[in-house]
């Protein structure tokens, strides 16, 4: 099984899809260059006829090879045979196509390398760079730029044939109408590829914005952690539900109902807002999922690796945080926290306009009843030994309590209690 990060895997898949598009454009560019060449090139004098005929042969040969390269890569991408590492040779091939054509032009004409930009192939530089934009990978783009720049620098060193007046005559040939029309065709192709790149980037941006808005809407109904998982699993997977092992926690403020009856509604609202904020911060730090707020009560879930240890750290952290907060207030705050662990059924239910993540099972009921039990045993936190036994965490300060029989389930539950030292 691959250990590649799912986000990296998605990015690589997108790069393969982009290379498929580049290959399709490579085919189109090859065909367009061939057609343009046949329509435009028309020698007008003996020297031009001799030079351009040879140039014609080399150009047709390299453009045909380039077209075939696009066909091969496109077919490999369609059949799922294109691998991520193969994109690097493709980048090199685009750059070498340009450089090879320029080198053949210099060899054919005998021009000095410093005159390479007189030859039409040098005008393929924007096209090669436009392909790099479509790949949206700065490293591959930098690699392509480096190959082109270094290759052109090497071509500058090629000496010409050195016959007086020959360079001037041959340069004039390559500044005539036909070569200029080829340059114009290359610029037009580069512009067309950039239009495709802009359209693709716009489509990707629009999809990203749409997905971000949909995820933001989902967080109105689902815990934020679950909304982020939709990118990996999809809503249908969460709707199917699953049975898995979780640690379930409940926290509740003692005497909140009677206290709130004598308070100004604004004060109650501010108190609950700060309470929820403090609870959320501690839960987030331990990787928990706040399933729901029910007035002053909160149901918290822990799943995955080290769920039990995370739940215990969260419980003690919440107790200590509330104790510190209580010390700053005129009216003390006391909470009760219950934790139990076991198999539960979990999944998303509801329609697209109203989704709810639900967890069912005896474990949920038992955790709620352990939280209620804190009223009678004098401890802020009560955890079942199912949680303590599964946790690889510091258990200092936990005191074993007599086993209890919880309403709605058979058999006694082994429990331990814990309270913050600042309480």
In 70-186, which ranges are E strands?
none
DSSP string of 131-178, one letter each residue: HHHHTT-HHHHHHHHHHHHHHHHHHHT------TTHHHHHHHHTTSHH
Give me the pLDDT at residue 52, please.
Answer: 56
Burial label for 344, CB within 10 Å (0-12, 13-18, 19+), is buried
The neighbour count for residue 324, using CB atoms within 10 Å, is 12
- Residues 137 and 302: their CA atoms lie apart, in Å, by 37
**CA 338 centroid distance within chain:** 37
% residues pLDDT > 70 (the chain) = 80
Q: Would you say residue 40 has pLDDT above 90?
A: no
Give me the pLDDT at residue 181, please.
Answer: 79
Report whether 323 contacts 306 (CB < 8 A).
Answer: no
Residue scoring higher pLDDT (319 or 115):
319
Compute φ and ψ for 337, nearest 5 degrees.
-130, 130
Q: Would you say residue 93 has pLDDT above 80?
A: yes
Residue 116 per-residue DSSP state: G
User: Considering only 81-90, 233-242, 331-340, which range has the smallest mean pLDDT?
Assistant: 233-242
pLDDT, tens only, 188-209: 887 788 888 778 777 777 777 6
CA angle, 343 then 347 then 349, to 5°? 145
- Residues 217 and 354: their CA atoms lie apart, in Å, by 10
* Bridge pairing between strands 297-302 and 335-351: unpaired
Average pLDDT, integer, range 164-172: 60
pLDDT, tens only, 239-264: 666 788 999 999 999 988 888 888 89
Q: At what angle do helices 125-134 and 177-218 cross, to 10 degrees?
A: 10
Each residue of 396-417: b (16+ CB within 10 Å) or e? eebeeeeebebeeeeeebebbb
- Residues 401 and 219: their CA atoms lie apart, in Å, by 39
Q: Average model confidence (pLDDT) for the chain?
A: 81
pLDDT, tens only, 278-311: 999 999 999 898 888 888 999 999 988 889 999 9
H-only helix segments in 163-176: 166-173
Give me the pLDDT at residue 166, please.
Answer: 52
pLDDT, tens only, 77-87: 888 888 888 88
- Residues 185 and 192: their CA atoms lie apart, in Å, by 10
pLDDT, tens only, 10-19: 777 778 888 8
Give me the pLDDT at residue 386, please.
Answer: 93
Determine the 3-state secondary structure of 400 from DSSP. strand
**CA 39 centroid distance within chain:** 46
CA angle, 176 then 179 then 181, to 5°? 100
Residue 143 per-residue DSSP state: H
Confidence class for position 44, pLDDT limits 50, 70, 90 = very low
Enumerate residues 6+ apart whose C-beta is below 8 A from 326.
332, 333, 334
Give me the pLDDT at residue 1, please.
Answer: 40
CA angle, 113 then 119 then 120, to 5°? 145
Residue scoring higher pLDDT (178 or 253):
253
CA atoms within 13 A on the CB side of 3: 0
Residue 263 per-residue DSSP state: S
Sign of CA dihedral 42, 48, 50, 54: negative
Confidence class for position 378, pLDDT limits 50, 70, 90 = confident
Confidence class for position 173, pLDDT limits 50, 70, 90 = low
Burial label for 298, CB within 10 Å (0-12, 13-18, 19+), is buried
Give me the pLDDT at residue 322, please.
Answer: 94
């Amino acid at each position: 099984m691959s250990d590649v990060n799912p986000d990296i895997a998605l990015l690589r898949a997108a790069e393969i899809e982009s290379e498929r598009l580049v290959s399709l454009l490579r085919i189109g560019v090859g065909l367009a260059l061939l057609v343009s060449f046949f329509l435009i090139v028309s020698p007008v004098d003996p020297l031009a006829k001799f030079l351009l005929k040879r140039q014609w042969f080399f150009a047709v040969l390299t453009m045909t090879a380039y077209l075939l390269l696009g066909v091969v890569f496109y077919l490999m991408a369609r059949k799922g045979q294109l691998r991520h590492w193969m994109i690097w040779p493709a980048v090199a091939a685009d750059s070498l196509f340009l450089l090879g054509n320029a080198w053949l032009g210099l060899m054919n004409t005998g021009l000095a390398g410093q005159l390479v930009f007189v030859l039409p192939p040098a005008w393929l530089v924007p096209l090669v760079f436009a392909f790099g934009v479509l790949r949206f990978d700065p490293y591959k783009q930098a690699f392509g730029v480096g190959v082109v720049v270094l290759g052109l620098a090497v071509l500058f060193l090629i000496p010409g044939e050195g016959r007086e007046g020959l360079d001037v005559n041959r340069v004039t040939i390559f500044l005539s109408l036909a070569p200029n029309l080829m340059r114009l065709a290359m610029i037009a192709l580069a512009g067309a590829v950039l239009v495709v790149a802009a359209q693709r980037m716009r489509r990707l941006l629009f999809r990203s914005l749409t997905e971000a808005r949909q995820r933001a809407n989902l967080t109105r109904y689902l815990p934020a952690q679950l909304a982020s998982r939709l990118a990996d699993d999809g809503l249908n997977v969460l709707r199917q539900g699953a049975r898995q092992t979780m640690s379930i926690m409940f926290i509740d403020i003692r005497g909140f109902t009677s206290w709130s009856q004598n308070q100004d509604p604004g004060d109650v609202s501010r108190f609950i807002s700060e309470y929820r904020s403090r609870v959320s911060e501690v839960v987030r730090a331990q990787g928990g999922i706040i399933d729901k707020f029910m007035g002053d009560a909160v149901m918290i879930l822990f799943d995955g690796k080290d769920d039990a240890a995370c739940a215990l750290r969260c419980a003690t952290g919440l107790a200590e945080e509330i104790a510190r907060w209580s010390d700053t207030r005129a009216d003390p705050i006391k909470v009760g926290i219950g934790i139990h662990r076991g198999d539960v059924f979990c999944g998303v239910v509801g329609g697209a306009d109203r989704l709810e993540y639900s967890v069912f099972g005896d474990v949920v009921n038992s955790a709620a009843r352990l939280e209620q039990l804190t009223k009678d045993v004098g401890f802020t936190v009560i955890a079942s030994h199912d949680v303590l036994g599964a946790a690889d965490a510091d258990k200092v300060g936990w005191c074993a309590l007599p086993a209890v029989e919880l309403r709605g389930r058979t058999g006694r539950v082994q429990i331990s209690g814990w309270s913050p030292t600042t309480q």
